[in-house]
Amino acid sequence: MSLSLAVPLALLLGVLVALPILAHLTQQRPVDRQPFGAMLLLRRLVMRLERRRRFQDLLLLLLRALAALALILAAARPELSVPADAPEFGGQGAVVFVLDDSLSMAQTFKGRTLMARARTDALEVLESLAPGTRIGVVRIGGQAQSMSPDLVVEHGRAARFIDTTDAGYGGTDLVGGLLRARELLAGEAGEVLVFTDQAGPGVVSAAEKEIAALVERGSSVIPRIVQAKPPKNVAILSASYGDGLEGGSVRVEIANYGPDAIELPVTLALPDGSEITAFTELPAQGRASERFTVPSAVPGGVATVTVDDPDLALDDHFAFHLPRVGASRVLVVDGDPGRTPFESEVYFLERALAPWGGLSGGLLPETVSPSGIRRLSESEHRVVFLANVEDPGAFAPVLTEFVQQGGGLVISVGKNVTAERYNESLKALLPAPLRRASSPLDVEGVRLSGPDLNKELFKPFAAGGYAGFSEMTAFRYFSLEPFKESDKVEILLTWQDGSPALVERKVGLGRVLLWTSSFDYDDNWSHSAVQAVFMPFIQRLVGSLGGDSAGVKLRAQGQVGQRVELKLPNVGPEPRLFGPNGQELPSQLARGQTLTLSFVPKEPGAYQVGTPGQPPSAWIAANVSPQESDVRVSETITGIQRAIDPGLLERKIPLGPVSLWVALGALLAQALLSFGLGGRDAEA
């Protein structure tokens, strides 16, 4: 608050205040006194009147001095500057309405959403504008959007645009909204009305440059605040799957942005449709975590967590990726059964896949002879082991289709395998043509070289078990025809003599891994199966091929209102995008060496990419912006403007008219007082 004077030189007239004082000081009495009979009898009465008039004369002096001072102050035209809550709206010139239709504006207060209150306020302001006033309307939920490229004078058109605006799932693009407003004003000064709740940390402060740019051009940014009192919301911050009892556990983080401690239900919905509900206590303005125990067998996919919050329903759901929990069927084709289980080609492989038996290991191997390949089901099996099978030609088309649709195939060789037969029947799947079975020069065999721990397959071994790979030994292995590595073919492991040990090839949506030796314990081929690292290696191998994730090779996170891009194999039918309700949605496709699918999620939930009737090739879990869920106000537009220029938000109160009325009042009062004194003196 400050006081200023428009005409400070007028204060020089303050010397006039001395005039009534001098008039009182120079009041004269007769010097030559003559005694006069009866007047002597009035001496006591005169003394009493003089005592009373001492006070009344002083009051008369003060009133006259006040009148003089007030007249002088009125001539100086003083102004009192006081802080203002926001710039005043004049409704003159160009007016741009900026409507916040972000998620936080769906918060309810006294039975109405904040967006409904903002619409009512905006329509009332629009109705008050003079005909012909140029209008612009901008929405800022998600990505800022203008009603038209230029200001318009059709108020009815602007009213329809305002009336159809409602809160959605998007964030608050205040920066883009003010930029659109500045573009509409095209360099001229105007008034920008922002109808918003100002919620979301960083939303307002991020717009400081745009606010300053408008102010520099003489425009006013006028906030029209709509808020719940107090703001309340409960939101899910995160959900993640981890190890634990039974099938593991899901840990959920929940935030309470309201001023009161509450208890409310939280529900976990699994991909198979089953639900688990718990009641969670949340402190005021605090957070809490809830842990759900997952059943021992759950299909992989996108799970959701839901809270029952009546204040803001649009962010009550949180989607996250859940891997396959429990048994994942692996079809093991035994090419050399043997007379006893121990002599079987797949004895050690079965134990590595299910070391604790049953469903406990998360994998359920199903062992069949080569003729049993007809049991292969894309809906049940995610990985196939082809172990030392003599002639795969009869079922090569079935395996090829299985891999192209997203399945995983592991091929191990042995004494039954011939290069010519495999190269002919499995040429669409082999990473490279087989050459011949070779024996290393060293009679003790050749060991594996240590794996590259930067490769995704071997990252879990960085903490331990790395050295165990060098104990895996081969006495015989197949060499391969020369080939070049690429984004589709890659050598993952080599023998210490430099020959490939494990080679990967991407085929369609799936992958093929070729192990150039045997997974059996055979003195003529390999002792790898009895090494301690064999079991975790096989488990990791199957997991990387989708055995623990229902076959989906690609998982992505997305945010509502932000573009999501997926790199897909450029093979097979054109992929299609399906939304949370199963409806097909539009997407953009760009073809190259890979196929890039992109889209912008419009609502939270689980999105799938694939073809109808086939397992999805990708899952996307989309959620709303966590910034929007924090409905508390941490910054204000007024505060930003005050930081830019404190003089922007000062209200000038002119004190000149007030001073003039004070002077007139003082003159009138002293006149009445003088009249009253004269009357009383006459009576006395």
Going by the DSSP 8-state scheme, the letter that residue 330 receives in this structure is: E
Residues 522 and 642 in one domain: no
Which single residue is written with the structure tokens 């048994």?
A: 327
pLDDT confidence of residue 138: 97
Predicted confidence (pLDDT) per residue in 199-248, tens digit: 999 999 999 999 999 988 889 899 999 999 999 999 999 999 886 666 78
In angstroms, rounded to a whole number, what is the distance separating the alpha carbons of residues 467 and 181?
64
**Contacts for 84 with CB less than 8 Å, ≥ 6 apart:** 649, 650, 651
**CA-wise closest residue to 505 among 571, 430, 565, 439:** 430
- pLDDT in the model for residue 550: 40
pLDDT value of position 641: 85
Q: At residue 4, does pLDDT exceed 70? A: no
Q: Which residue has the tokens 């998007």?
A: 170
401: its two tokens: 């289709």
Tokens of 145: 């959007």
Task: Give CA–CA dist 440/526, Å, rounded.
Answer: 12
Residues 108, 243, single domain; the answer is: no
Which residue type sits at 218?
Answer: G
One domain for residues 535 and 570: no
Predicted confidence at residue 459, as pLDDT, reads 81
The encoded tokens of residue 152 equal 């318009």
Angle at 173 between CA 170 and CA 175, to 5 degrees: 175
Residue 32 lies in a domain: no
Q: Is residue 87 part of a domain?
A: no
Counting the structural domains of the chain, the total is: 5
Mean pLDDT of 260-288: 95
What backbone torsions phi and psi does residue 79 show, to the nearest 5 degrees? -130, 135
Do 489 and 594 have their domain in common? no
For residue 120, pLDDT beyond 90: yes
Same domain, residue pair 343 and 474:
yes
Q: Is-contact 414 335, C-beta < 8 A?
A: yes
Do residues 286 and 219 both lie within one domain? no
Say what angle helices 174-185 and 208-216 make with each other, to 10 degrees.
Answer: 20
The Cα 229–Cα 249 span in angstroms is 38
Instruction: Give the integer Cα–Cα distance in Å for 187 and 176.
Output: 17
Residues with Cβ within 8 Å of 640's Cβ and at least 6 positions away in sequence, in order, are: 204, 205, 207, 208, 211
- Lowest-confidence region among 118-122, 135-139, 418-422, 537-541: 537-541
DSSP state of 294: P
Per-residue model confidence as pLDDT tens digits over 572-598: 678 899 999 889 999 999 887 678 899
CA dihedral 561→562→567→568, nearest 10 degrees, is 0
**DSSP helix, strand, coil percent of the chain (3-state; round to 5):** 30, 30, 40
CA–CA distance, 100 with 107 (Å, rounded to integer): 12
Q: Residue 379 CA to chain centroid, in angstroms?
A: 35
More confident residue, 610 or 320: 320
Q: How many CB atoms lie within 10 A of CB 585?
A: 15
Per-residue pLDDT reduced to its tens digit, 563-574: 999 887 766 678
The band of 254, judged by pLDDT with boundaries at 50, 70 and 90, is: very high
Average pLDDT, the chain: 84
Task: Identify which of 473, 510, 468, 483 has the alpha carbon closest to the alpha carbon of residue 423.
Answer: 483
- Cα 638 to the chain's mean position, in Å? 25
Same domain, 471 and 444: yes
Residue 372 included in any domain: yes
What does the pLDDT average to over 592-616?
85
The full 3-state SS of 134-148, as one line of letters, equals CEEEEECECCCEECC
Mean pLDDT of 105-130: 95
For residue range 331-354, what is the model confidence (pLDDT) as tens digits? 999 998 877 777 788 888 888 887
Could you identify the residue written with the tokens 């002096």?
Answer: 61
Q: What angle do CA 88, 94, 98 make, to 5 degrees?
A: 70
Does one domain contain both 578 and 493?
no
DSSP 8-state code for residue 100: -
Is the pLDDT reported for residue 265 higher than 90?
A: yes
Q: Is residue 33 part of a domain?
A: no
User: What is the pLDDT confidence band of residue 30, given thresholds at 50, 70 and 90?
Assistant: low
Q: Which residue in 392, 255, 359, 380 sits closest to 311, CA to CA?
A: 255
Same domain, 45 and 113: no
Residue 351: helix, strand or coil by DSSP?
A: helix
Single out the residue in 626, 642, 667 at which a domain terminates: 626
Closest listed residue to residue 633, CA positions, set 226, 198, 117: 198
Mean pLDDT of 536-557: 72
d(CA 66, CA 79): 19
pLDDT, position 358: 47
17 pLDDT tier (thresholds 50, 70, 90): low
194 and 178 within one domain: yes
CATH code of residue 188 = 3.40.50.410
Instruction: Return the structure tokens found at 511.
Output: 């992958």
**Cα 425 to Cα 419: distance, rounded to the nearest angstrom:** 10
Retrieve residue 49's tokens: 């009147």
Looking at residues 32-45, what average pLDDT do you find?
A: 54
3-state DSSP assignment of residue 436: strand
Domain boundary among 264, 290, 324: 324
* Bridge partners, 528 (sequence order): none
pLDDT for the residue 359: 42
In a domain, 152, yes or no: yes
Interstrand relation of 408-412 and 381-387 (parallel, antiparallel or unpaired): parallel
* Angle between helical axes of 208-216 and 637-644 (0-180°, round to 10): 60
Burial of 339 (0-12, 13-18, 19+ CB in 10 A): exposed
Looking at the fold, whether 432 and 499 belong to one and the same domain comes out as yes
pLDDT at res. 572: 62
Q: What percent of the chain has pLDDT over 70?
A: 80
Residue 575: predicted pLDDT: 87
Q: Which residue has the tokens 């191997």?
A: 365
Could you tell me if residue 476 is inside a domain?
Answer: yes
> Which residue range(s) make up the domain with 189?
94-230+632-652
Indicate whether 84 belongs to any domain: no
Q: Which of 491, 523, 544 is the last residue of a domain?
A: 544
CA distance 56 to 457: 104
Which residues, in sequence order, are bridge partners of residue 606? 621
Mean pLDDT of 280-307: 91
pLDDT in tens, 354-403: 775 544 445 678 889 998 888 887 767 889 999 999 999 989 999 999 99
Residues 108 and 10 in one domain: no
End-to-end CA distance of the chain: 52
Please tell me the pTM assigned to this model.
0.62
Residue 111 lies in a domain: yes
Cis peptide before 341 (omega within 30 of 0): no
